[in-house]
Structures are given as structure tokens and as C-alpha cells.
Structure 1
């Protein structure tokens, strides 16, 4: 006899849950109904780009607003079989990707939660919404014939890289009722990934970002003629800003909004500029900064060739479409990394810089940025500045540290919300003189949502007066932490920036990464000046291949306490960190050029602890690589010391030498006898 198939009870599940939504008074939309144009277009677009067919249609969808006026899309997927709620991978994450990072459509189509999380990623990729609630519900009939339901409620966000986090156990959806929703959102905001989960997911996403940026830059370089490196940077910046949107207020620019028209005022460049203007105005950026951004981007977006239609499509629309399709989800969900630093390095990889110029434009790896931030003892109350900010990678790392510290220490959601806004608006300041790189810094901090207020396009040595750049121009920026990776071609390998910044600070800490020759004589005069008001706490020798493929200079990190003159009797910690636990390579087609082969993450944390607490924290780092010594404040060229080597032989050394000699002597005797035996055998 043929095995009797189990009939799906999905219609019963849908009827039950839709009934709940009606009783809650929610304005929900069913599968074929429109929630809003932005969301519906994103669901359709994501299907075609992910290889599916027939569009993405959640069984029910709702758009709710919390007390902070933030909008939350709610996407609900129904199934009608037992054990079809969710499929997880070995790490306990929603299993929507195969081992080679391809979509797992079998899981997406078969399991309720997996389908709903897939829909949420469509919104992260193509809309302004960065926080989505995904709900999967499945049902079955029990032995008594009654309907049993299982509910999975997940938070899908840029903060969890679009992977999704289970929120809690629920037996109905009453948490969506108006009087319950704010409490539910507070619970969502309290969700945290473990550091191990964050590191794993971030590493995965960063590999994807690198691959996508390389693909995009190759495509533009080979197929889009007439676009210089700055044009490529500005096009990507404009496309990202235009497609970020502001939920409920500024609709992200869609590819279909560009018509390749030749009508004056309605060309593709005009449309993108208008959208960028709307976005930065809604973000309340200072008027001067808005004007600067528009003026900079217009130089590329409004040129005739890029707007001229060929076969009905302008080059601008074609490039815009490539940017959105290749990068859309990554600049929505990879926002705690230096996204534009990666963009900068990739876009400028085609240029034939001289070595000095190359050293000046190389950006700091994210794990080194995080190290500098920790060495400068940044916390939620710090005021952090960078006098050669580049793409703002160091400030991104500082902002992450400050926000994480705030989340750890502030338990009131309302107070945390205010503190996060204050950190982004008032507690970060960066200076960048190169206009193209400055635009990347602005973009980075806008994507961080939004720390761009005090990113200033000025010469930090000759123009900057120490005050806020916008809004509070007459008020001094009360810096308590200085972080820096300077242009090494500047005076003293860049130590001139350190002298300038520390002279404008009253207290706090500073950490800088710089070419090693700055500590052995190249900046002796500047170093002596710095020590008159500041204390050198530590000198750290970094791996020679730290910037492999970008620069080949040996670097050191110097850590200072600000506002206290150095004395010769003060102890300085000299640490050789050339064995940092990472193995690096420079293979262009390699999937991973940075591998943790010897407790690298633990070593980096230990380094921070050694600088702060001393050798009692030593574990992975050998005592041969740690030395506490002194410098002479009148020299300025003795900052790169290493542990002295004991050259007096011990009894054990003598015994080993004799032993090695006897082994060698016996080996020679045996070889001689063996040769004589062979000769006699002939």
C-alpha cells in the first residue's frame, strides 16, 4: 500500500494567526497586498538577484512604529507541517547559506523562519530599513485532531549582520499589540551576540565585502571608460548615500528611478544629487557640510559623458545599478567595520603610487584600529580625535568601543538612546586634508548613523584651532583620547601630528602607529618636545608584514599619558609584538590572507593588559619579548629598545656545547667506519 501523505494545515494556521492580528487592531497586509512600494519592490528585486523565481511574498506583513518613531517591518511566514519551523546550522544560526555562501533555497522554501529571515535580508539590501522582525509559524494536528502551532520570532538587523537572532519563546503574537510593542522592542534592543559570534560573523561578512568590492572595481575599471579613481570613489559614495534612505522619511533611490533622460534638471545625475541632498538634510548635517558634499559629488555626477544615454541607458545608471546589486546588503549590514577603508584600498589599488605616497594612503587594518583604541583607553565618556583620519577607520573603531561600553554600563533604554546620539554627534572629531579621502570619511560615519558631524576637511597642522568643526565652532573639543596612523612622509615620519594634537589636550591617553625610524632619530627633536608635557608609557614593535601588499615599512606603536611630563626614572614598557599570532599572505585570489594561527585575538588583548597592568598579565607573550626600561628625555632617539641579551654562558650552555660536540665526533667516526667497510667490500 502507498504511504499516506500528510496534508498541510497551512490554511488553518493562516486563518488562526490572521484572526489574532485582526483582534489586535493591526493594519496587516496579506501575501498579494501592498505594504508599501519600497518594501514590495525590494522583495521582488531580491528574488531575481538571489536566483529564485516568482518573487518573495511573505504570507503577512506589517509596518509598526515604536516610541522613538523608528519603523519596524514585521514579516510573517506560515507553514503547515510539524518540524518545519526552523532549520539551524552547526553554529545555531538560521541555515540560509551553503558552505560556499550560496543561498540554500531548500531551507528557505521549506522552513517558516528561514523564509522569513530571507525576506528580511531583502529589506536590508534594497530598502532604508535596518531592523526587521521575522516571524515563522508552523502548525500540525495532534492526535486529537486539534491544531498545534509553533512560533519562531527573530530579530534581523544590520547589527547582527542579517543572520538573525531568536528573541524569545511565544505562544501568540500579542507582543505586536500597540500597548505591548514598545516593551517588546526594548527586549529586542537588549539582545546581544557573544564576542565569538560577532567575530565569526564579521569575518564572514568582511570576506564577502572584499570579494564584492574587488569584483565591482574590476568591472568598472575594465568596462566603464573615462572614470578616474576619484570618479569611482565619488560614484560609489553617491550611490550608497542615495540608496541608504531614512525609514519613513527619505525613500532610497531605486534603479528604476533613473530614466537616462536628457532633459535638463532630470538627468540621472540630477536625480542622484537631489536624493543625496534630501538624505543629508534629513540627517541634520550642518549647512556648510551639506554644501561641501553636494559640491564635491556634483563634479562627477553632472558631467556630460556620464549622463549621455547610449542605447537608452546612461553610464551613470549602469554603474549605479552595479553598485547597488553588488554592495547593497554589505553597506547596510557591515557597518561596524571600516567599509569605506576597504573601498579606498580597492579603488586605489590600480594606481602606481611611489613608495612614499603609498605609505601615506595605506589605511589601518581593523584589528589594529581596535588595538589603538583600546590602548588609548577609550570608553563611553571619551572624546576622541584623529588628526589624519583617512577614511575614518580609527574613529569607526572608537565609536564601536564607545557604543559597546555604553550598552554594557547603561541599563535604561531611554538613557542609552540619548548617550548613543551624544557619542555620534559630540564625542568624535576627525581631520582629513585630501578631499577624495575626506568624502570616504564622511560616508563611513554617515553609514555608522551618524558620526559625521565633526569630520573636518582641514589641514590639522596649519588650519585647525582645536574647536568643534560644526555647530559649536566657538567651543573647544575636550579631547581625552588621541589615535593616529599619520602620513609617514610628514615631518618626523608624522610625529609632528602627535606633537600638535597632544599640545591641545589637557589629559587622557594617546596611541599612534608610526614608522619605526621616528623613534630612533628621524623625529628626535619632536620627541623631546612631546616628552615635556607627556609620558611615554609603552613602545611596541609591530610585525614587519602588518601592511603586506600595501606597504613594507617597519612600524611601532607608541602609547602616551597626556598632560604629565616624562621623567628619566619613569618606567617604559618595551614590547616586541612581531609574533602577534597572525599569519599573513598577499595572494590576490586567496579567500583569506589573514589567519589566526597562534591565539592572535588573545595576544592582542594581552598586549593591552600588559601596557595597562604590567608583566603580571603575561601569558602568550614570552618574557623574552617584554622589557621594562628607561629613556633619556634629552635624546628622543632611544624609544625602540629591546630586552638586553645575557651573553655570559651558563654551566648548562657549556654542557650542551660539549654534548653537541661529542654527538658530532661520534657521527664522524661512524661515517668513517662505514666508508671503510664499503671500500673493503669492493
Structure 2
């Protein structure tokens, strides 16, 4: 006769070595919130729900794992998923539906008496979402793999990104209330994010009581950090100028706790997102949100490229650890960040290759000084210690010569569209400019308006 205790034993033994990372409980929990949620979650329809195992993470209180076991593999999952007391998947999804009212839940169903022959299913159900989605595979993983897989899952990215957008709207209203210009808001955030990379600043800023001293300390920390990262002198001067408003802004430099509270909120909400989701153009997305809030993005001819497009370009071009990527309309650096992610992944942990990628294989040109500052900040935040982004005109012969010396193999661009048909530069000229800078047999991928792609008359290049 099948013995469920055998199933529980190998599951318990699997998770027990991770007790420093997790708390493993059986049948019930010492956490009142969990017990309250399970109070009416019985598999038989009435009474308290008692899953085999409840696993909470000591450093992530919003995430938990619930496990349901069955000895017989034929009792793993029913076709209707509503036979809660008979089947492992059915039962664990019932528990998950209750627990996900307040937690992000990883639901694990295990059937079989031996781990090597067991059947395992995983489902992720995020807080307040109706559906649990399949995740991972058909074998038990380590608790750290579960945690990292959850944090980096598309579902968690979507949830965190939506939270980030909600925060950006509130932040926008706060900055608007302090009369900080829309064009300066992303610069302020980028300055704060760079400073928060500096451990002494992260501790010391909370002790400041004079707003003027804190605003100076913030900008000085950033300039010193970039100088130590061997950022070029001309770039440093530009960044110092762009961040200079922080030293003199009335709200930031004279009003008690305004800047300090902003730093704390940005650390909790934006820095937290970036730690979990690396190589994501957060500054670019916030910049778009801030301009949209002011209804001024299209008036400036600015349409920053969304992440799913920048990632698609890297896939289409098949960038790898040996690629040298160039964007002559850099914006906030979205294409370069997506390329960096793919190139670093291809390096497979080779630290020398990763260092080369970040210091010499990502090249860009940006014309507008304040957006150039955002691009440099973005690359620094993503651990590109020596940015190769130039502030200048991509059509300037001196700039083109400097780029050609880098011998880029891959070109990406989303050129500014023509807001003024008579005065603005044709989109295809930017494409040709990019091509002219690439090494022989290089690959260029660009976004252009349909009217440019399908034009039957006009200037011949």
C-alpha cells in the first residue's frame, strides 16, 4: 500500500539543508497571517487547510512555498483540478488560491514514494492574481534556485514593473509639488541611484540635517564616484553641470527632509527593482513616464525604445561576447543595456571578457546633453565603469572618426522622427551614418517610419 509518509520524508530531507535561508513548517505555521488565510482552506470544503509543508524565506517575507504530497503518482493531478483532497496538484493550487491573497506563492505538488521516480509540478501565483502559472520543471530544485527563479521570472518582472509605474506616478506628483522641472526629474533620480551605489553615502545621508549640505554631498559623491570609475574629464564636466541644479533647487537644498525622503523612497522602490531585474532601462522608462505626465515627449521628437524592442534587436543581430555595439542615437542607452545583458550572458562567467564588454564594447553618441547625462548614469548604474558614450553630433566627422576607431560590428538605432519636415534630418540619414561607422560586414538594425521604408520618390542616397 502506498505510504505518503515516505513522500514527506524525502521532501523534508530535500529542504532541510537550507534551514539558514528558510523556515520549514509542517501542517501549520507560527505566522498569524498564514494561519488566518488557511483557516477556511480545507480540501474537504470546511475547516482549516493543512498543507504538508509551508516554507518561508527569512530575507523575503512576501514570498512563500507551499507543498502538497501524495504517495501514488496516479494521484498527481486530475483533469478538472478540483478534486482537492485526492490529488496533489489540485490540493496545492487550492492552498495557493488562499495564500496568494497576501503572499506571492510557489505551489509545489509532489507524488511518489522515491525522489528519483517522483512526479513534481510547480506553479507560481502572485499576490492578488487569480491564476497560477506553471514554472520551473519536473524536479525539485534548491531553495536558492526557487528564490532566484521567482525574483527573475517574467511574472515577477511584470508585477514589479507595474509597481514601479505606480510609484513613478506618485513620485511625479511629489516632484511636481516641489516644482522640480519634468526634464530634471530623471536626472535627479539617476544622481540618487549612482550615490546609493556608494556604501558610505547610503549610511551617511540619513544623518544630515542641513538640506544644502545634503544636496552638495549627493552631487559630490556622484562626481567622485564617476571620477574613480575613470570617466573622461569632458563627460565629468557635463555631468557636474547637468546635476548642478540639485545644489541650488529651492525645495531640494532649503526644505527640511525633502531630499532625504526622496532618497529613501527611491532606494526602496527603484533601487530595489534594479537589484532584482538587472540590465533593464529603468531610467529610460521613468523619463518617458515623466515626459508623458507633462505631455511633452512627442513635442520634442522623443520616443524612447521599449525594452521588448531593444531585446529583439540584440536577438536579431545575434550579439555575443565578441560584438562591439554602436548606437548613434543613444537616448538613455536602452539598446546598449539590452546588448550588454546578452553579451555578458554569452561570456558565461569569464570575468576578463565581461570586463572588456563593459569597458570597451558598448559605444554610443547622444546629441542632447541632459539625455546624454541619463545615458552615462544608466551605463554606470549597470556596472559599466568606463562609459564610451560621446556627447555630440553623430554626423560630425571627428565624432565619426572616434567611433570608427572602435570598429563596431553591430549598429542599432531608433532615429528621432521628423517633427518638422522642412528642418529636421531625414531618418534614413541616421541609418546611413550608422552604417558608415561599422566595420566591414557589420550588421545594422534600425527602426524607421513606414513612409521612409516604402518611399518611391525623394532624395537618393
**Range into which the TM-score falls when normalised by the shorter chain:** 0.5 to 0.7
**2:274–2:280 contact (8 Å) kept in structure 1:** no
Q: Aligned pairs, how many?
A: 346
Residues 502, 77 of structure 1: alpha-carbon distance in 2 compared, 3 angstrom cutoff: closer
Q: Which residue of 2 aligns with 1:323?
A: 266
Does 1 or 2 have the higher relative contact order (CA < 8 Å, sep 6+)?
2
Matched, 1:495 2:450: no
**2:22–2:57 contact (8 Å) kept in structure 1:** no
Offset of residue 431 of structure 1: 0.9
Offset of residue 229 of structure 1: 1.3
Matched, 1:215 2:166: no
Q: Which residue of 2 aligns with 1:288?
A: 234
Q: TM-score, normalised by structure 1?
A: 0.45
- How far apart, in 1, do the equivalents of 2:314 and 2:22 lie? 46
Match of 1:301 among 246, 261, 265: 246
- How far apart, in 2, do the equivalents of 1:388 and 1:257 lie? 41
Matched, 1:424 2:352: no
Structure richer in helix, relative to its length? 2
Matched, 1:434 2:368: yes
Q: Which residue of 1 aligns with 2:289?
A: 346
**1:308–1:314 contact (8 Å) kept in structure 2:** no
Matched, 1:202 2:157: yes
Residues 512, 353 of structure 1: alpha-carbon distance in 2 compared, 3 angstrom cutoff: same
Match of 2:208 among 246, 253, 258: 258
Residues 253, 497 of structure 1: alpha-carbon distance in 2 compared, 3 angstrom cutoff: farther
Matched, 1:454 2:404: no
Offset of residue 84 of structure 1: 8.6
Offset of residue 453 of structure 1: 1.2
Matched, 1:271 2:217: yes
Matched, 1:404 2:345: yes
Matched, 1:369 2:369: no
- How far apart, in 1, do the equivalents of 2:387 and 2:414 lie? 21
Specify the SS of the correspondent of 2:363. strand
Q: Which residue of 1 aligns with 2:410?
A: 481
Instruction: Give the CA RMSD over aligned residues.
Output: 3.9
**1:370–1:398 contact (8 Å) kept in structure 2:** yes
Offset of residue 502 of structure 1: 0.9
Offset of residue 518 of structure 1: 0.9
**2:393–2:399 contact (8 Å) kept in structure 1:** no
Offset of residue 197 of structure 1: 6.2
- How far apart, in 2, do the equivalents of 1:325 and 1:79 lie? 25
**1:335–1:447 contact (8 Å) kept in structure 2:** no
**1:383–1:427 contact (8 Å) kept in structure 2:** yes
**2:215–2:247 contact (8 Å) kept in structure 1:** yes
Match of 1:521 among 437, 455, 459: 455
Q: TM-score, normalised by structure 2?
A: 0.65
**2:238–2:369 contact (8 Å) kept in structure 1:** no
Offset of residue 227 of structure 1: 1.3
Residues 348, 403 of structure 1: alpha-carbon distance in 2 compared, 3 angstrom cutoff: same
**1:431–1:459 contact (8 Å) kept in structure 2:** yes
Offset of residue 362 of structure 1: 0.9
Offset of residue 78 of structure 1: 7.8
- How far apart, in 2, do the equivalents of 1:401 and 1:454 lie? 18
Residues 227, 443 of structure 1: alpha-carbon distance in 2 compared, 3 angstrom cutoff: same
- How far apart, in 1, do the equivalents of 2:354 and 2:147 lie? 16
Match of 2:280 among 337, 346, 350: 337
Matched, 1:389 2:330: yes
Deviation sequence 1:13-44 (CA, Å, 0-9, x none): xxxx9xxxxxxxxxxxxxxxxxxxxxxxxxxx
